Amino acid sequence: MTLAKPEGVDPKYLKLSYLLAEGALSRRDLLSGPLVPRYVVVPAVEAESCAAWKGCAQCVAACPQQAIAIDGGEAAIDKAKCIGCGACLPVCPVSAIRQPLLNPDRLEAELRALLPRGETSPGSIVFLVADGGLPPAGPDGLPALSLPSIGAVSAWLLLRTFTLGADGVAVLPCLPGCRHRCDQARWELTLRLTRELLVSFGIGTDRLVVVKREDVGSQQRIEAFRAAVAAMGPRRLRSSPGLRGNGTPSLAEILRDLAALAPEAPAPLIGDGVPFGMVRVQAARCTLCGACPERCPTDALALREAEESRLLFDHTRCIACGACVRVCPEEAVTMERRLEFGRLGSITVLAEDQIARCQRCGVRIAPLSMLRKVQSALGGGTPASPDCPSCRMLQSLGAARG
């Protein structure tokens, strides 16, 4: 997204560029220079939120310009390489990458402005237009949301457009030779996932189409789509309470609300395009060492210790990065790209065990499973009530004095 004169935009989101002046050049142009300064709005990383220090690198993999690198435990965007395509924004699991023109609250407000407020306007369509382009010539007043590239179109944006009242969504991707070098395979996964979700919620996939602007007859296809959506009428879920409330919901919240209103309980979704993971633990092998929650970039895993030690899992937060699998010293963790609607918003106990306490002072030492692992490695049995390091040292000092 390019601005001639940025106002109210933090300089960290701006990249200065120059465009050739349009039209014939005057003598003054030759003296002052034919280049016109313009500002490209690009993303920036909020260092305090970035989870790269835990091994997260989702943005690095998503950037088609190779403009993002991990530096000192933080993701860093090279402005010289970044052209503001926005592909990194939907994949950041902790919202550490931001761009003021593409933040969810702003997109939500723009969608609300495009869609009718009442429930008496059947056939409402929104066009999501990539690469800053416009829909093919047609009737005035087409409700269009302009996006920098197809990489900025996420499952959240598509579903939120529907839940805010659209009866149909038409996506107009980048033109051939897109300067953003968009990852077509990633976009295809997003589109396929969204269509699978629409089916799960009782919304036909014919309400979501992709129209290539360069194709002959693209305008006719758009008109046919408009007519088809008008004939289908409003969706059953359109006026459901909760889906058009205040606040900007996350993808997980949208999925949870839609699943509750679906004609029947949606079946789990499995596959490469699913942005959620399902973690499982072989409880017999887990020692509750805490390595997996320490490396989890989204805090989907947590270790809670009181009288018992428990490894907890939040399916809503899991992004299927696999960090927990790689770090587990016992090879007790497995992960699958899987979305289970009934598990969204709930916490699952993956493993639990009693905590051994010092037989002298009563302080907590470690889970019994961990002590058994240590004693097994040392070739001995597990003491019923071991001493903590402090009491063991005091006992050693007392024995030395004696």
Contact 93/51 with Cβ under 8 angstroms? yes
Q: Is 273 helix (H, G, I), strand (E, B) or coil?
A: coil
Return the pLDDT at 244.
52
Return the pLDDT at 179.
82
CB atoms within 10 A of CB 142: 17
Return the pLDDT at 261.
85
Residue pointed to by tokens 């929104």: 126
Between the CA of residue 379 and those of 357, 358, 365, what are the distances in Å? 21, 21, 20
Q: How many helices (H) and strands (E) does the chain have?
A: 11, 18
CA distance 165 to 90: 22
Sign of the four-CA dihedral 70, 72, 73, 77: negative
**H or E stretch at 261:** helix 251-261
Return the pLDDT at 308.
87
Return the pLDDT at 313.
98
Task: Indicate the DSSP class of residue 194.
Answer: H
For 26, half-sphere exposure in the C-beta direction (CA atoms, 13 angstrom radius) is 3
Question: Which residues of the chain fall short of a pLDDT of 70?
Answer: 1-6, 18-36, 117-122, 132-141, 236-246, 362, 379-385, 398-402
From the list 109, 149, 151, the residue with the least C-alpha distance to 132 is 149
Contact 350/283 with Cβ under 8 angstroms? yes
From the list 360, 335, 365, the residue with the least C-alpha distance to 350 is 335
Return the pLDDT at 158.
96
